[in-house]
Amino acid sequence: MTIDFTQNGPKVSPLMYGLMIEDISHSIDGGLYAELIRNRALKDDGNKPVYWDAYPSSSFASIAVDTRQPVPNTALTSSLRLDASSAGGGIANEGYWGIPVAPSTKYRASFYAKSDGKYSAPLTVSIQSNDGAATFATATVAGVTGDWKKYTVTLTTDKSAPKSQNNKFVIAAGASGALWFTQVSLFPPTFHDRPNGTRVDLMKHLDAIHPAFLRMPGGNYLEGNTIAERFDWKKTIGPIEQRPGHQDPWGYRSNDGFGLMEYLEWCDDLKMEPLLAVFAGFALGHEHVSTAAEVQPYVQDALDEIEYLIGGPDTQWGAERVKDGHPKPFSLHYVEIGNEDFFDNSGSYEVRYAAFHDAIKAKYPQLLLIATRSDVKSRKPDVIDDHYYQSARSFEADWRHYDKSDRTAPKVFVGEYASQEGVPTPNLKAALGDAAFMAGFERNADVVQIASYAPLLVNVNPGASQWGTNLIGFDALNSYVSPAYYTQQLFSLYHGDTVVPATVEHGGALSYVVSKVSKMGVVYVKVVNPMASPITTTITLNGAKSIATKGSAIVLTSANDTDTNTISEPKKVVPVTSPLKSVGKTFQYTFAGNSLTVLTLSVK
Ligand code: AHR
């Protein structure tokens, strides 16, 4: 391998690399959004109170969905009617595949409740094991009347409470009678203690990647199956009682408790910049608009949305953002127009893209616009979003894909990619396929400006997932990161601001990229060896003036490329760091079989 310090390659964008999120496989509801109650507003099924049970059994209570008792002036149009036939009868929620419990932990429970006006006993709120044998935390609520009112209590587990998830949340009546409940909510401690916040373990995994941006909110989730089911951002902001929720194209209902502002607060929490995808008049089921007049309302919605993110307090939607608790405008460079419009074979994207392009550029000339297909003719998009879901071997074979790009064409955002090896999360083979392809992104940083893996999160419970290979797995209590997660992390943490030209022998077996942090003289050499056997190479640092003899090597490998991490074995494949002791102008290094290696050198 020869690294040529006499020349500079392209500059690497400071926004390389980021995350992509949409609510698929319970990534958000039943995942990152820390809400533990499933079907909290009783809208998941109009006929049945799904995920709810009569407590302790139907001998003590009956329950039903009721739409005739809406909470006044809110979007809470459904409730759960409880007819308790005796004291102790109540309602129980099973959560998203269980309610997690940890010792010495505070849970914030809240709900709207009313009675038939005759009921006067207190309610007992608790978290119990599913078999009813153990109660981990209890609180009492008194004073429920015939009028809707919100009640909030804290449930605290003691230090003997076992870490567990086969649990339920219960509200039991103190006497017989009729009661109604809605917006029943239970939050564990959240990341940065946000009241309507995110799950701590998942946020820590994401934070450790040091992502620079978040492409949100999709994906197909942005589009919806129909235009009516799109991510209609204006219905996802403000008090959560006012958010109606909507049908998610991935087969479940989103309560929209995690709405536009919550995505943006997530960006704040991890110091990411939002990459805002705006609905562009095309839904997943191919319903679309095609004339400039028809597209206009969606263009206006996008302008309003951008104003919500970056407008001053004197603008209509900037003022709304201030009202929603975020006076400071967000930093925004990229706006994406739609998602995967290459599936629209009607030709309407030409008209739709042009309308968005003209309106956004007129008001916000500083923004870079991303098109989702490469054949837009009447306008030149700043960036094209490329998506790849392939085998690891095809990524490795095509790792020089962007070497061939036309340098005068729009820049590239690889908005979704993943080697499809391993279910529900990728194995080492996938991690190496991704790494080979990503080396090609970074080598061509003048073409590929930014990139984000997809999908990001998966609830690993049976029936919870709609996609095969996903970066991070979790259940109600535990989470783990895949080998491919480490590829994302290593690329994100170990890249410089400028590519350094390099060549490698070994018959094309190795994929690689070298970059440097110019001011500090730190050089990162990333090499993928997807072969089972190790490869020894001589590394020559051509044109280097001074070289520190010490460096380090981080190696991601395992005995077999099918090795992976799971809930029960979360650390089977992890990167290992070791010192390099005899770096020189020329030195030898052996790249392990089935490995991604990051060498960190000090070169001036
Ligand atoms: O990442 C899963 C889906 O794949 C995305 O929603 C869509 O954009 C792509 O087809």
Other beta carbons less than 10 A from residue 548's beta carbon: 14
Ligand 1 lining (C-beta closer than 6 Å): 22, 24, 218-220, 339-340, 416, 454-455, 467
Mutate to test the pocket of ligand 1, among 28, 250, 387, 457 (most ligand atoms within 8 A of CB): 387
356: three-class secondary structure by DSSP: helix
For residues 217 and 22, the answer to whether their CB atoms sit within 8 Å is yes
Q: Please write the tens of the pLDDT for every residue from 164-193.
A: 999 999 999 999 999 999 999 999 999 999
Could you give the count of Cα atoms lying within 13 Å of 346 in the half-sphere of its Cβ? Answer: 16
Residue 435: which of 556, 533, 554 has the closest Cα? Answer: 556
Query: Which ligand 1 atom minimizes the distance to the CA of 415?
Result: 8
Strand 273-278 to 472-474 pairing: unpaired
Q: 5 φ, ψ to 5°?
A: -80, 0
Residue 507 has pLDDT above 90, yes or no: no
Residue 506 has pLDDT above 90, yes or no: no
Which residues make Cβ contacts (< 8 Å) with residue 193, sequence separation at least 6? Answer: none
489 token code pair: 């992390």
Indicate which residue's Cα is closest to atom 5 of ligand 1.
219
Res 376: pLDDT: 97
Could you give the count of Cα atoms lying within 13 Å of 137 in the half-sphere of its Cβ? Answer: 26
Mutate to test the pocket of ligand 1, among 416, 458, 465, 472 (most ligand atoms within 8 A of CB): 416
What does the H/E/C string look like for 477-489?
CCEEECHHHHHHH
Q: Please write the tens of the pLDDT for every residue from 437-451.
A: 999 999 999 999 999
Is residue 155 in a domain?
A: yes
User: What mean pLDDT is reported for the chain?
Assistant: 97
The residue from 340, 396, 416, 442 that is catalytic is 340
Indicate which residue's Cα is closest to atom 7 of ligand 1.
219
pLDDT band at 518 (very low <50, low <70, confident <90, very high): very high
* DSSP letter for each residue of 387-454: EEEE-HHHHHHTTTGGGG--TTSPEEEEEEEEE--SSSS--HHHHHHHHHHHHHHHHTTTTEEEEEES
**Distance (Å, rounded) from C-alpha 416 to C-alpha 277?**
13
Integer angstrom CA distances of residue 372 from 238, 332, 388, 550: 30, 19, 13, 45
420 alpha carbon – ligand 1 mean position (Å): 13
* Residue listed under structure tokens 């070497």: 403
Which residue(s) pair with 503 in the sheet? 2
Query: Which ligand 1 atom minimizes the distance to the CA of 339?
Result: 8
Residue 464 has pLDDT above 90, yes or no: yes
406 token code pair: 């036309």
Which residues make Cβ contacts (< 8 Å) with residue 386, sequence separation at least 6? Answer: 412, 413, 414, 415, 417
Taken in order 376, 377, 378, 383, the sign of the CA dihedral is: positive
Mutate to test the pocket of ligand 1, among 20, 21, 22, 248 (most ligand atoms within 8 A of CB): 22
User: Any catalytic annotation for residue 340?
Assistant: yes
Is residue 192 in a domain?
A: no
**Distance (Å, rounded) from C-alpha 228 to C-alpha 562?**
42
| Average pLDDT value for residue range 141-149 | 97
* DSSP letter for each residue of 566-590: -SSSTTSS--EEEEE----SEEEEE
477 alpha carbon – ligand 1 mean position (Å): 27
Is residue 232 in a domain?
A: no
Is residue 458 in a domain?
A: no
Res 158: pLDDT: 97
The domain that contains 111 carries what CATH number? 2.60.120.260
Residue 212 has pLDDT above 90, yes or no: yes
Indicate which residue's Cα is closest to atom 2 of ligand 1.
455
| Average pLDDT value for residue range 53-76 | 98
Cis bond upstream, residue 56 (ω within 30):
yes
**Distance (Å, rounded) from C-alpha 313 to C-alpha 212?**
26
| Average pLDDT value for residue range 62-78 | 98
Residue 94: which of 40, 133, 13 has the closest Cα? Answer: 40
| Residue 11 per-residue DSSP state | B
Indicate which residue's Cα is closest to atom 4 of ligand 1.
219
Query: Which ligand 1 atom minimizes the distance to the CA of 20?
Result: 1
Indicate which residue's Cα is closest to atom 3 of ligand 1.
219
- By CB atoms closer than 10 A (0-12, 13-18, 19+), residue 19 is buried
450 alpha carbon – ligand 1 mean position (Å): 17
Helix (H) or strand (E) run with residue 328 in it: none
Q: Please write the tens of the pLDDT for every residue from 374-408.
A: 999 999 999 999 999 999 999 999 999 999 999 99
Is residue 327 in a domain?
A: no
Query: Which ligand 1 atom minimizes the distance to the CA of 416?
Result: 1
Res 277: pLDDT: 98
Other beta carbons less than 10 A from residue 306's beta carbon: 20
Is residue 289 in a domain?
A: no
Indicate which residue's Cα is closest to atom 8 of ligand 1.
219
595 alpha carbon – ligand 1 mean position (Å): 28
Which residue(s) pair with 275 in the sheet? 215
Helices 292-310 and 349-363, packing angle to 10 deg: 40
| Residue 165 per-residue DSSP state | -
Residue 34: which of 492, 493, 479 has the closest Cα? Answer: 479
29 alpha carbon – ligand 1 mean position (Å): 18
User: What is the percent of the chain where pLDDT is above 70?
Assistant: 100
Give the distance from CA 61 to its chain's centroid: 39
571 token code pair: 């650390």
275: three-class secondary structure by DSSP: strand
Enclosing domain of residue 129: 52-187
Is residue 269 in a domain?
A: no
Q: Please write the tens of the pLDDT for every residue from 236-295.
A: 999 999 999 999 999 999 999 999 999 999 999 999 999 999 999 999 999 999 999 999
255 alpha carbon – ligand 1 mean position (Å): 21
Res 405: pLDDT: 98
For residues 567 and 473, the answer to whether their CB atoms sit within 8 Å is yes
Q: What is the ipTM of this complex?
A: 0.99
Q: Please write the tens of the pLDDT for every residue from 9-27.
A: 999 999 999 999 999 999 9
**Distance (Å, rounded) from C-alpha 502 to C-alpha 504?**
7
Res 101: pLDDT: 98
Other beta carbons less than 10 A from residue 581's beta carbon: 9
Query: Which ligand 1 atom minimizes the distance to the CA of 221?
Result: 6
Mutate to test the pocket of ligand 1, among 220, 225, 452 (most ligand atoms within 8 A of CB): 220
Q: Please write the tens of the pLDDT for every residue from 302-346.
A: 999 999 999 999 999 999 999 999 999 999 999 999 999 999 999
Is residue 135 in a domain?
A: yes
Residue 157: which of 171, 139, 137, 140 has the closest Cα? Answer: 137
Domain total in the chain: 1
389 alpha carbon – ligand 1 mean position (Å): 9
Q: Please write the tens of the pLDDT for every residue from 110-120.
A: 999 999 999 99
**Distance (Å, rounded) from C-alpha 64 to C-alpha 180?**
10
Could you give the count of Cα atoms lying within 13 Å of 130 in the half-sphere of its Cβ? Answer: 12
Other beta carbons less than 10 A from residue 67's beta carbon: 11
Which residues make Cβ contacts (< 8 Å) with residue 345, sequence separation at least 6? Answer: none
Res 508: pLDDT: 84
424 alpha carbon – ligand 1 mean position (Å): 16
* DSSP letter for each residue of 207-226: HTT--SEEEES-SHHHH-SS
* DSSP letter for each residue of 170-187: EEEESSSEEEEEEEEEEE
Taken in order 247, 251, 256, 262, the sign of the CA dihedral is: negative
Residue 505 has pLDDT above 90, yes or no: no
**Distance (Å, rounded) from C-alpha 207 to C-alpha 492?**
11
pLDDT band at 523 (very low <50, low <70, confident <90, very high): very high
Length of the chain: 604
pLDDT band at 553 (very low <50, low <70, confident <90, very high): very high
| Residue 141 per-residue DSSP state | E
Res 461: pLDDT: 98
Which residues make Cβ contacts (< 8 Å) with residue 16, sequence separation at least 6? Answer: 212, 441, 442, 445, 448, 449, 450, 451, 492, 495
